[in-house]
Every structure is written in structure tokens, then in C-alpha cells.
Amino acid sequence: MPVQAHAEEFRSPGSGPDAATGILLSHGFTGSPKSMRPFAEHLAGEGFGVAVPRLPGHGTHWREANTTTWQDWYAVLDNEFERLRKEHERVFLAGLSMGGCLVLRLAEQHGADVAGLVLVNPSVQTDDKRLAALPVLQRFLPSFPGISNDIKKPGVDEGAYDRMPLRALHSLSQLWKVTRDDLAKVTQPVLLFRSTVDHVVEPSSGRTVLSRISSRDVTETLLEDSYHVATLDNDAPRIFADATAFVRRIGTDA
């Protein structure tokens, strides 16, 4: 299927002294690189090498998402991570929502090769009891109405699907479980941003991450003026500035 105009991938090799650092950014479920592009462009402007790949089944049509699994999404990020490792001295990971879960999984698998993580409203579980029926529902029902554009700032469109693909959502629930089970393997420095009002991901996800990781260098920042897609919302400048400072601090310590 053709890729939507807003969903193009973004990469920059970096420049100056900060080019020694690469940063891999992952968008969320049913979204596209559009939600992470301003973040990536800011980091590229600071001189870091950056990459925002498009996850399989995203940025095209929700029906295509139903033909993919979390292993497909992870494989794209894993390949991009290996490329960045070859081109930079150190690599950080950043993820929004499901992207946060995927980069946590990368950190669990790659250990010390990951310099640090920036998580924005990471999704590792849900409190919605209705999803207990997913294993059966996804066999007979292709989609539900979507949840997108949870953004406080007026006039902003993240470009996500207007339908929730249920087979893909079922696979996401499997990713949540394997990631939660291994959270103790996360030892890298973590900067976690959490919106105080989020209509997509419940606060329990952030609490689970913070309570189960083994990282000793952990900062949680509450975002008071943004909803779920905070990378496109009112608090985005704070996320960009704090993430830049975090990456430079950890890179210097290394």
C-alpha cells in the first residue's frame, strides 16, 4: 500500500561533536513518524545522528496493520539500532506510547549497548478489562473505532488511523507481556515523561515501568499541559530540551 504523505521516515547523520551520538526514535501504535518528526528534527539540529523509521503496517492503511505483528515492528527498530551502532559511538533510544514499549524491549535485549532511554507516555499494559476478549474478538472483528489525536493543543493532527486494527492490537498485548516480564533487565539511565491527563495510556503503565526497571539513574517528569501525544503538544519544547540535556549528560559521563 502507498505510504501516506505525512508518514515518511526521517534520518540525519549528525554533525559536529554530538555526531558521536545516535538516537533512535519510535512512533506509537497506529501512528507514524509524523508524531516524532519535530522531536527528531530538534535533535538533528543539535547535531545528533537520528533515525525515525516507519513501523510495518503503519502510515498506510489500518488493514495493513492487521497483517503485521509486534515482531515485525521490533525487527525494523532492531535493524536500525544495529546500523546506528556502526555509525556512532553511543546510541540512545526514544519512544512514544507503544514506541516506548518497543525501545524498552530493545534495552532489555541489548543491555549496555544502549546508552539510555527517553520514554514519552510509554505503554506496557492496559486497565481496560474489555481487552480480555481480544484473543477471540480479533478472529472475527477486524477493527474498532480508533483513538487518535489525543492532543490538547488545538489544530494538531498526528495522522494516526481512524480505526483500531484488532489483530495488531492483540499482538501489541503480547508485546506488553514479554516486555513487562523482562523490565528488570533494563539498567540504563531513563528519562520518562508522563502526561497528567492521558486519554489513551493509563498511569499504571508508567508506574509499572518505574517500579520494575533496575535503572539507578531515573527521572520522571510530569507534563501538565499535554495529553497523550505529548511530542506534538504544548509540552513538546520541554521534552525536546530536557531530552537533549539528558543525552548530553549521559554521553559525557560515558
H runs (alpha helix) in 111-235: 134-140, 166-181, 203-212
The Cα–Cα gap between 19 and 39 comes to 16
**Distance of alpha carbon 126 from alpha carbon 106, whole angstroms:** 21
164 is in an annotated binding site: no
198 is an active site residue: yes
- Chain centroid, CA 101 distance in Å: 7
**Which secondary-structure segment (H or E) carries 12?**
strand 10-12
Q: Is 98 annotated as a binding residue?
A: yes
Strand partners, 12: 50
Contact 95, 42 (CB under 8 A): no
Q: What is the CA radius of gyration of the chain?
A: 17
Which of 97, 143, 171, 205 is catalytic? The answer is 97
Bridge partners of 190, per DSSP, are 117, 218
233 is catalytic: no
Residue of 198, 205, 226, 235 marked active site = 198
3-state secondary structure of 109: helix
Catalytic residue (choose from 35, 171, 228, 235): 228
Measure the CA dihedral 208/176/181/50, to 10°: -80
CA separation for the pair 56, 60 (Å, rounded): 9
Which residues sit in the known binding site?
A: 29, 98
Which residues sit in the known binding site for substrate?
A: 29, 98
Query: Annotated active-site positions, please?
Result: 97, 198, 228
